Amino acid sequence: MILSGMNESVITERGQVSVPAELRRSMGLHAGQKLRWERISDLEIRVSVRDEAPTGPISVLGFARQIHNGPPRRTEDWMKELREGE
């Protein structure tokens, strides 16, 4: 893909750079997305978009409630029940 103009950025005093708007739009980049930086040579850096992983912790509480809908149980009680099945 050939983009118009020179897509350049300036490094700020804090080491920050901006991704040119044309590149952001054409690649569908958005705020919060992670980029990976890789040194290729003394004068070249490759920037690639990281695959997005699921955000936040994965919860099984809804599933667990289907199995056990009573008062909370202690870990020891759960472990005892599991070991009885061995």
Q: What is the pLDDT along the chain (86 residues), one digit of tens a residue?
A: 555 567 889 999 999 999 999 999 998 998 889 999 999 999 999 999 987 665 556 666 665 666 666 777 788 887 888 888 76
The whole-angstrom separation of Cα 82 and Cα 74 is: 13
Q: Which position has the token pair 């980029």?
A: 35
In this structure, the number of other CB atoms found within 10 A of the CB of residue 63 comes to 8
The whole-angstrom separation of Cα 80 and Cα 45 is: 55
Residue-level pLDDT at 5: 62
